[in-house]
Structure 1
């Protein structure tokens, strides 16, 4: 059977607007009217407040300067490599005003990881932050992007940064020039194919791929969430409404990540919220900001919720302003939900589910429940059609487990310049999620397992194949398989099973202490080249042979089970000590 949404009817979705035209220049019946005059953005550190008119002016100015100074044109690709900053959306929407495409990169990337994204997307200019400048310059140089095309989002006063352009420079230049670009109005239907974002995701396997997201896809998801969240409906008293224009959200999740980009940066602004923008996550500082700015909503990932539940510093702060907590990017356990209820007894608590490939949310929290059904990811958004395929290929019904496939107006166009991977994941209008689910009799969605090889560390995707390919470059490694193991804080962390070369085995046999030295070297080998969440926090285990099926495919499930056994044995030994 196929499943459809029980959360409302999909409204009209404009198909001739870009994202900034929709968000900054127009009004939709499903957008609440905000009469509170609250700022759109607040800089957490300085308290600077930025309203709609300033954002609109700065966005235009950046577009005008990019066009005049660098000849950025339609379909050019510009990278944003930065932590959150109040001018992040200025750069993003300025790119979109020109009809260009943005690709947002993880600010924790190494130069080689950023280089890969710049090359695959064919980016011609980079916005970055002073914290990331050296890595941005190194990657840009490798990709033949001139240093004058590396522009700072922030405006540091140190002499070492004076030689580089920043967004404030672009704004002054753009406002002083005559208009040198004409913003194009899309033809009817064109927004469905007009690229807005190349957002990187590992998909179901392999190295990160560029997910091609159209303007229409992101706009669709905003409207889907608006209907599901009843943001324009007077369904209860103002005090009890979940989404209220004039409220504030703590924008801690990174804007480069699809969760932070679509849900926080776009949906919450669409709802009339003030975003208190956090550049660097610090748990104690988050608690202080909740008090200072009277934060009402928190969109978090499970590791942050672990801190809320277990860090003793929480007792020293007034968190009574928090009215709603939504968890995403990785499953939130029932146990953790119950602990959070004790910490924030006045707040509604729920989780949602989505993917980069679906331009974010597929399911959304129910509005008729203060506390979500434990383990539930909510219900399908309006406009979503879903089916669940069992192991034998037949359609699952209610309460039956299988792999989730969805259709939705927000689904991406495919993987940029990768027809093979696109064919594996996007087929005849269906998005293959790679997630095993059960849909309850109440039509709530429960994520129970992942068929896909990638796993998540603190909500960030890790592709085993990427780490395996890197490890195989080490002279002591003959074969390897990377699997996730459970971790209380991160959810999962990578562990590498390694088969040593004959020479390395001989050294270990001659000197058993060599085994620990090689393990430490392999952990450092990965840490030196990969972003922090891809590091081998689960350790390295030697194995005689990496198990494979007759076709040569790694038997990951076997090694996942073996990894769990090893960790359980280690825990038992520690318990006896």
Structure 2
């Protein structure tokens, strides 16, 4: 599909939200919705979604000699990638991998990462991505909790676990990509270097029965407190992601009064700058799986760096970029600097953390021909659950969008009773992308998953059209002398200040009030603002009891975990 044109059509919306949804999900549409029974619960599903991740792989291979993966000087075609996947899958099976066995994947965004992921899937195993930012002791937890028998890692991760292998009694084999030391098995010994993937034998797809609702992945939650839990994802969970963003784009076109274009195999290839880690469900499902299925080129970054990103966007003519809101803010800085040609950008998308309303306004002004987009999801929803872009986002800048048409959301009181539109309460969600439960944690599973519904732990409100606004994590809400303070609301007010690029609100203990709001703020390049100025700025917008009693100025973007969530536990220590 082509990108929506900008600026907004003066008669927007040309069609109501409900009518656009009904038209797009009707029988015969590419986005038709039907019903399936998942774990005993009737659930909406995409009619045309690929049933398993193996079907995603086969669709991706059909893109042939187009470039799929770019990393520094390495380039791999879809066919070369497919041959590497099949070579590794065959090797894993020969080595004794059985259906349901876990294969841990711990590496940066290298071309070998998706090879390891899809090879595990085709061999019938459960792909278990581990956070590449974890320390050795944190990797201990992922390797022992999952019971992985095989680990595929890069050199950096190998250094972290090499002296700890005795702690992993179930780990029988480790393959190291790109920097295998003497005496350690090199992944290249199985698949060769990226440049030679296209010369590997064609290979055959393993004939292993795969159930759409059977286990396929084990992603560990990104919670900022407590020990990570393994979320058991199914083939359906991951495969249904391929229609999420195309649906949102189609809805934007209808809302503007434009016709949906016919599929064009000769259309220029879409090119995504990938800064979100593949070990994050957004990086894996919304980016990798979707890109493979739809034939996009993925330009991988070792780690986010603005100068590198600007150069890659210009060199590869990237059509989309983004990740977490922090990256979008920095792209605004890059656009203002004017050092690179960013005219190829058609979309700037972000999620994984709250995005202030001010961000979409600034993006619209700085990139008039690039569509801003945002959404919400979590590890337990396999990434994208709500999503919107273009005019719908501009007109609902505080919202993370409506649920996808195969997804349902409701806002409840603490006892689970539904609340009226506009009221703030607990967010419950249901859909084909909600995982089966937690790995080896029946009590946590029973407490979080109820009759197909996932209790997210987020506080939110939803309007009559279904647009969801995340107010805060329930556990991060402050109560100051009996008054509720939603951190997200105060953070949004701080973000409206023209000098602010990042902000977090945390609780400061108080002997009589219980707790008070404190804020940590990062300023933009060359910007200045004092604590007094920022407190006065918030006081003009919010009630006095919501104004931070202290504001600390931070020299750089605030610390985040791999999924973009601010590490408030670390920031509290600053007070």
| Fold shared per TM-score above 0.5 | yes
Equivalent residue for 1:354? 377
In 1, distance between residues paired with 2:126 and 2:434? 17
* TM-score (normalised: structure 1): 0.71
* Structure 2: unaligned runs, 5 residues or longer: 1-17, 26-31, 35-45, 479-486, 495-499, 512-558
Equivalent residue for 1:18? 52
**Are 1:107 and 2:128 an aligned pair?**
no
In 2, distance between residues paired with 1:413 and 1:363? 19
Which one of the candidate residues 231, 250, 255 is aligned to 1:211?
Answer: 231
In 1, distance between residues paired with 2:232 and 2:331? 35
Contact 1:204 1:453 in 2 (8 A): no
In 2, distance between residues paired with 1:167 and 1:433? 38
**Are 1:408 and 2:431 an aligned pair?**
yes
- 1:225 Cα deviation (Å)? 4.1
Contact 1:333 1:374 in 2 (8 A): yes
Equivalent residue for 1:65? 91
Contact 1:376 1:446 in 2 (8 A): yes
- 1:454 Cα deviation (Å)? 10
In 2, distance between residues paired with 1:273 and 1:448? 34
Contact 1:136 1:150 in 2 (8 A): no
**Are 1:297 and 2:320 an aligned pair?**
yes
Q: Secondary structure at the match of 2:67?
A: coil
* Structure 1: unaligned runs, 5 residues or longer: 456-482, 500-526, 542-565, 567-577
- 1:268 Cα deviation (Å)? 2.5
Q: Deviation digits for residues 415-453 of structure 1, max 9, x if unmatched?
A: 111111111110011111122222224432211122145
- 1:163 Cα deviation (Å)? 3.6
Equivalent residue for 1:40? 68
Q: How many residues align?
A: 465
Q: Deviation digits for residues 205-230 of structure 1, max 9, x if unmatched?
A: 74210000011111123234443443
Counterparts of residues 118-517 of structure 1 (less than 5 Å) = 118-144=143-169, 149-153=173-177, 155-156=178-179, 161-171=181-191, 182-186=206-210, 190-192=211-213, 194-201=214-221, 206-230=226-250, 236=259, 246-310=269-333, 314-366=337-389, 369=392, 371=394, 373-391=396-414, 393-452=416-475, 491-492=503-504
Q: Deviation digits for residues 314-335 of structure 1, max 9, x if unmatched?
A: 4211111111111100111012
In 2, distance between residues paired with 1:211 and 1:489? 32
**Are 1:81 and 2:106 an aligned pair?**
yes
- 1:104 Cα deviation (Å)? 0.6
Contact 2:272 2:296 in 1 (8 A): yes
Change beyond 3 A, Cα 1:250–1:172: closer
Change beyond 3 A, Cα 1:280–1:203: closer
In 2, distance between residues paired with 1:399 and 1:344? 32
- 1:80 Cα deviation (Å)? 0.6
- 1:287 Cα deviation (Å)? 0.7
Change beyond 3 A, Cα 1:177–1:375: closer
Contact 2:215 2:234 in 1 (8 A): yes
Change beyond 3 A, Cα 1:274–1:84: same
- 1:370 Cα deviation (Å)? 7.5
Change beyond 3 A, Cα 1:344–1:58: same
Contact 1:438 1:447 in 2 (8 A): yes
In 1, distance between residues paired with 2:76 and 2:477? 39
In 2, distance between residues paired with 1:540 and 1:387? 35
- 1:391 Cα deviation (Å)? 4.8
Change beyond 3 A, Cα 1:375–1:51: same
Change beyond 3 A, Cα 1:120–1:493: farther
In 1, distance between residues paired with 2:332 and 2:205? 51
Q: Secondary structure at the match of 2:286?
A: helix
- 1:296 Cα deviation (Å)? 0.5
In 1, distance between residues paired with 2:411 and 2:473? 13
In 1, distance between residues paired with 2:112 and 2:467? 38
Contact 1:246 1:273 in 2 (8 A): yes
In 1, distance between residues paired with 2:200 and 2:310? 41
Change beyond 3 A, Cα 1:183–1:452: farther
- 1:350 Cα deviation (Å)? 1.8
Change beyond 3 A, Cα 1:75–1:493: farther
Equivalent residue for 2:573? 540
Change beyond 3 A, Cα 1:172–1:230: same
Q: Deviation digits for residues 399-422 of structure 1, max 9, x if unmatched?
A: 222222111011100011111111
Change beyond 3 A, Cα 1:275–1:177: closer
Change beyond 3 A, Cα 1:115–1:176: same
In 1, distance between residues paired with 2:442 and 2:77? 42
In 2, distance between residues paired with 1:212 and 1:98? 17
Equivalent residue for 1:573? none
In 2, distance between residues paired with 1:256 and 1:438? 30
Q: Deviation digits for residues 382-407 of structure 1, max 9, x if unmatched?
A: 21122211357532232222222111
Q: Deviation digits for residues 13-52 of structure 1, max 9, x if unmatched?
A: 5899531x2112259xxx9x979x6312122x10x32222
- Aligned-CA RMSD value: 4.1
Contact 1:42 1:49 in 2 (8 A): yes
* TM-score (normalised: structure 2): 0.71
Contact 1:196 1:215 in 2 (8 A): yes
Q: Deviation digits for residues 439-479 of structure 1, max 9, x if unmatched?
A: 22443221112214599xxxxxxxxxxxxxxxxxxxxxxxx
Q: Secondary structure at the match of 2:405?
A: coil
In 1, distance between residues paired with 2:349 and 2:323? 6
In 2, distance between residues paired with 1:403 and 1:109? 31
In 1, distance between residues paired with 2:202 and 2:327? 47
- 1:139 Cα deviation (Å)? 4.1
Q: Secondary structure at the match of 1:307?
A: helix
